[in-house]
Copies of this chain bind each other. A is one copy, B any other.
């Protein structure tokens, strides 16, 4: 199997995290994508033992190399076009989230995907984080009964970021960028989809980061009637021990489960337990590739990828307009 990679603006590091688990996969070629500096991508490739061809033109690369899968991590506002071009060539896509910054672009990707059997997933890798993965499995196995209320939190350090974070057109907004993970946990834990959302966000006190929202809240009801909220911020102090403070709290008819600080806290009829999670039996990139290679299905479907992207964009629209949005 041949892999091509386009760009390295986001989390293409996921590829190298588990590429060794797919020995039949070769990184054949890379393109910086739209004039970005290719050195980071080439250095990561070399560190992983690959010596890919370098193409300036990512479309020409796809045509010349005809890869079996492409990793898309170019400029955020180019994700959609890159996905469409790959899917039109029936190349499976592993794309940085969100795969589109507008609903129109998302529709274009859906349309392109309809005409091919090629798969697409986005890099919402925190579903594969040990504590979240195990907690979701526990919920699916009935540990807290029927979920009634769920909260997800993403809190990041703002740190120092490239200029493209300062403009909505090139960044996409904090709800899609940071909030993707929070919304994905809600969808994953509940195995449900959203019916309605209201959201609020603020760019004040964003330390000169232009359009970047430093905080946002989204409030959902799912189709089955679960109440859900996502809290998203860039307010984690630089002195904190980790980049992110990732959490989920799900309260059900038979118990409450929480993920925080990499641990799982469960209270149900059996009492209280603080659980250190096991390493998951899969990783984001290799899970996808092993499915492509004919193995076990990955835990993220095309439809979930589309639904998550749509949910993020509608939540952002709710925040932008101050209106409740129905899905």
Q: Of the candidates B215, B227, B323, which one forms a contact with A251 in the assembled complex, judged by CB atoms under 8 Å apart?
A: B215
Chain B residues with Cβ under 8 A from A240's Cβ?
256, 267, 272
Nearest chain-B residue to A145 (Cβ)?
B205
What string of 1s and 0s marks CB contacts (under 8 Å) between A242-278 and chain B?
0001000001111110000000000111111000000
Q: How far is the CA of A225 from the CA of B206 in the complex (A)?
A: 13
Is there contact, CB below 8 Å, between B217 and A146? no
- Encoded as 1 (CB less than 8 Å from any B CB) or 0, chain A from 202 to 238 comes to 1011000000001111010100010111010101110
- The stretch of A26-34, A43-51, A147-155 in contact with B is A147-155
Partner of A149, one of B233, B251, B255: B233
Docked Cα-Cα span, A198 to B219, in Å, equals 8
With A148-B214, A200-B219, A202-B225 known to touch, is A256 a contact of B155 (CB < 8 Å)?
yes
Query: What is the interface size of chain A, counting residues whose CB is below 8 A from a CB of the partner?
Result: 46
- Cβ contacts under 8 Å, A200 to chain B: 219, 221, 227
CA distance A96 to B245 in the complex (A): 37
Do residues B267 and A239 form an inter-chain contact, with CB atoms below 8 A? yes
**Complex CA distance for A215 and B237, rounded to whole angstroms:** 31
A113 within 8 A of B: no
Selected from B202, B225, B324, the residue in CB contact (under 8 A) with A227 is B202
Flag whether A322 is at the interface (Cβ < 8 A).
yes
Copy total for this chain:
2
User: Nearest residue in B to A214 (C-beta to C-beta)?
Assistant: B148
The answer to the question of A134 belonging to the interface, with a C-beta cut-off of 8 Å to chain B, is no
**Measured between alpha carbons, how far is A148 from B174 in the docked complex, in Å?**
15
Q: Are A148 and B233 in contact (CB under 8 A)?
A: yes
Chain B residues closer than 8 Å to A90, beta-carbon distance: none
Q: Decide yes or no whether A201 CB sits under 8 A from chain B.
A: yes
Q: Note all chain B residues with C-beta closer than 8 A to A271.
A: 239
A241 interfacial by beta-carbon distance below 8 Å: yes
CA distance A217 to B151 in the complex (A): 10
**Which chain B residues border A322 with CB–CB below 8 Å?**
324
Which residue of the partner chain B has the closest CB to A236? B256
Contact B231 A151 (CB under 8 A): yes
Can you list 13 A-B pairs with a CB-CB distance of less than 8 A? Answer: A146-B205, A148-B214, A148-B233, A155-B251, A200-B227, A215-B227, A215-B251, A217-B227, A217-B229, A235-B252, A237-B267, A240-B267, A245-B256
**A contact set with B: CB distance below 8 Å:** 146, 148-149, 151, 155, 198-202, 204-205, 214-217, 219, 221, 225, 227-229, 231, 233, 235-237, 239-241, 245, 251-256, 267-272, 322-324
